[in-house]
Structure 1
Amino acid sequence: MPEQLTFPAESVAVLEPRLPPKLELQDAPRSRPFVTLTFATSLDSSLSLAPGVRTRLSGPGSKAMTHYLRTRHAAILVGVSTVLADDPALNCRIAGSSHQPRPIIIDANLRWTPRRSDKVFEVCRNGAGLAPFILTGADASDLPAASVELLHEHGGKYIRVPSARSEATGRLRFSWDDILSALQAEHLTSVMVEGGGQIINSLLDPAYHKLIDSVIVTIAPTWLGQGGVVVSPERVTDSAGVPLPVARLSQVSWHPFGDDVVLCGTLRV
């Protein structure tokens, strides 16, 4: 059994203002889920050494923080590339927690073939996690029957989301508004967006800043070097073609967790 993690009460208090309100404290239903963008990065803004290469960045303290954050969100969201590279369990391992977040996997083009041996299903069978909801652009008639059955057996499912085909790649892509509408329809009131690079960079597009309620970034004291998967959204310019900053955080605070530093902030809209 994986090690159970603990997160001290004083650290919980520091993070509380950055987190979604607890269900019993919400004044009124929200029109969309509370969105927390959170990830671990190196000093050169890399998530991993190379595409498809699993790279550990978080130390024990910030790792426990991430699992605590999962206890405070209804769902955690990753892209299919993260699933293919890492085979993640997508669960919470905080000792004593009774809550498990719903894994949400963005797989518009059905790149992932779920298998019983995948960690996300193993923890589900052990009562230590939930089965994923897979957001896809495929029609129901195009879904692999074996995958549909496996998901249904564990309590997961495919959810069709409106999509558009990218002119550059020919692949289906989602709007973040449509993604969050799909989660809202499933009564998922909050979501942690954890990665990978394409997912994070797309959410950092200025068109979607208004959807992000909180940003929590773990910065590890290491350089990974060139060729990594980098958090760097597409450049924006003014009407004269002069480059502009894509985003800046406000209400910033910094918190040490072992050798790592955690940056919390809110995007200026």
Structure 2
Amino acid sequence: MAPAAELAAMRRALELAARGPTHGPNPRVGCVILAPDGTTLAEGYHHGAGSPHAEVAALQALTTSAAGATAIVTLEPCNHTGRTGPCSRALLAAGVTRVVVATPDPNPHAAGGIAELTGHGVDVEVGLLGEESRALNERWATAVGRGGPWVTWKWASTLDGRSAAADGSSRWITSAPARADVHRLRAEHDAVLIGTGTALTDDPSLTVRRDGVVRGPQPLRVVAGLRDLPPGARLLDGDADLLHVRTRDPHVVLAELAAREVRTVLLEGGPALAAAFLAAGLVDEVVCYLAPALLGAGPAAVGDLGIRGMPDIARLRTTSVDLVGDDVRIVARPLGRDVPPQFQPSQTSHELQEAFGVHRDR
């Protein structure tokens, strides 16, 4: 088969994979099945935990036999039985004779599909558009690889670095479009995390809302700290699940979330919790909303990091800068965190931005 046909099919598979959920215990995967002459027989993608994997979805969409066909897959076919059966065996049973895989599966419990297929005489090629595939599932792969969730720290401040006024009030530092963008961020994560201090001071709901209405799947709401929540707290409203982890140790919090198959966490806590996660080296990405406003006094966005001189400054690498309403959204990463190439188009991200009414100006 001409390499051009397989390359085009892998690009299509990545586009399909991007339609899958941006959160959850499973990766986003797409699959295209090609006939021996390079024409497309079927395609599919994974819709989320419990639904058919991409390979099975594509096989189910077939209107003809897959005997002698080539499967183009963005991630190594799984080789274990979990919520669904192994995709490697499904491909073998369908008579597929060649499989092109973008990247191996970093999950040791699911990997092995390449070896299984090769062992049964299937021609397997690995690496086609591998960088793009890794970028698509970066958060998930990072969490699986290290056994703990990916952490995105979100914060908002004025130009002079204040996250609240001197009297503690913080509503609203940023514009309505920026706040809508935060709901988009929440929708992309498995859990939203704050400390008991923020829970008691701000009484947030931490739900995903559109036009003020709680809509769609909700992230797990997580509170870390020793103090009890008052009976009337919004976090107890039943709109989403709540987990109270009674510890101040960030490692313990993430271990508890990992045990619940939480792969991504949006850290929305106050200065003390942010400082604890940063000092522990547990922040993977920072999303800052900077409002064109000044307060002159009030708490800073992050607490004491133990830095006493410029040689120890905690520098970050900026990955994107956008206008969201009147505010500037800066996305950055602590130095040492690799930045993969952007996969384009990120259809799911674009759809989420439109759904939440977020329009970017460059």
Q: TM-score, normalised on structure 1?
A: 0.67
Deviation at 1:260, TM superposition (A): 0.3
What's the counterpart of residue 92 of structure 1? Answer: 208
Is 1:38 the counterpart of 2:154? The answer is yes
Instruction: State the partner residue of 1:225.
Output: 296
Deviation at 1:53, TM superposition (A): 3.1
CA 1:51–1:256 in 2, change beyond 3 Å: closer, same or farther?
same
Identity of aligned residues (%): 26
In the alignment, is the contact (CA less than 8 A) between 1:53 and 1:85 conserved in 2? no
Q: Deviations over 1:123-149 (max 9, x none)?
A: x2xxxx313211114xxxxxxxxxxxx
| Structure 1 pair 261–251 and aligned structure 2 pair: CA distance change class (3 A) | closer
Contact 2:150–2:264, Cα closer than 8 Å, also in 1: yes
2:230 to 82, 99, 114: 114
Residue 259 of structure 1 pairs with residue 262 of structure 2? no
The aligned residue for residue 276 of structure 2 is 202
**2:270–2:301 CA contact under 8 A, matched in 1:** no
Report the CA distance between 1:56 and its aligned residue. 1.6
Distance 1:214 1:224 in 2: 26
Aligned to 2:219: 101
1:193 maps to 2:311: no
1:131 — aligned with what? Answer: 241
Counterpart of 2:268 in 1: which secondary structure?
A: strand
The structural deviation recorded for 1:36 is 0.6
SS in 2 for 1:46: coil
- Contact 2:196 2:229 (C-alpha < 8 Å) held by counterparts: no
SS at match of 1:47: coil
- In the alignment, which residue of structure 1 is the partner of 2:252? 178
Change (3 A) 1:247 1:229: closer
Q: Which amino acid aligns with 1:48?
A: A
Q: 1:250–1:229: structure 2 CA closer, same or farther, 3 Å change rule?
A: closer
Does 1:214 find its partner at 2:310? no
Q: Which amino acid aligns with 1:179?
A: V
Spell out, residue by residue over 1:64-109, the C-alpha distance to the aligned partner (whole angstroms, 9 max, x if none): 11000111101000111111111111100137952101111012x2
Q: Which amino acid aligns with 2:294?
A: W
The match for 1:81 among 180, 187, 197 is 197
Give 1:196 shift: 0.7
Q: Secondary structure at the match of 1:217?
A: strand
Counterpart of 2:209 in 1: which secondary structure? Answer: coil
SS for the counterpart of 2:236 is helix
- Counterparts of 2:22 and 2:330, CA distance in 1: 17
Q: Which amino acid aligns with 1:183?
A: L
The number of aligned residues is 201
Q: Which amino acid aligns with 1:214?
A: E
- Code of the residue aligned with 2:203 in structure 1: it is D
What letter is aligned with 2:28? L
C-alpha deviation, 1:251, in angstroms = 4.3
TM-score (norm 2): 0.51
On the 8 A contact 1:70/1:101 being kept in 2, the answer is yes
Change (3 A) 1:21 1:81: closer
CA offset at residue 21 of structure 1?
A: 6.4
In structure 1, distance between residues paired with 2:177 and 2:208: 15
Q: From the superposition, tell whether residues 132 and 255 of structure 1 become closer, same or farther in structure 2 (CA, over 3 Å).
A: same
Q: CA deviation at 1:113?
A: 3.1
The 3-state SS of whatever aligns with 1:198 is helix
Per-residue deviation at 1:119? Answer: 1.8
Amino acid at match of 1:34: W
Contact 1:233 1:246 in 2 (8 A): no
**Shift in Å, 1:224:** 1.4
Larger Rg: 2
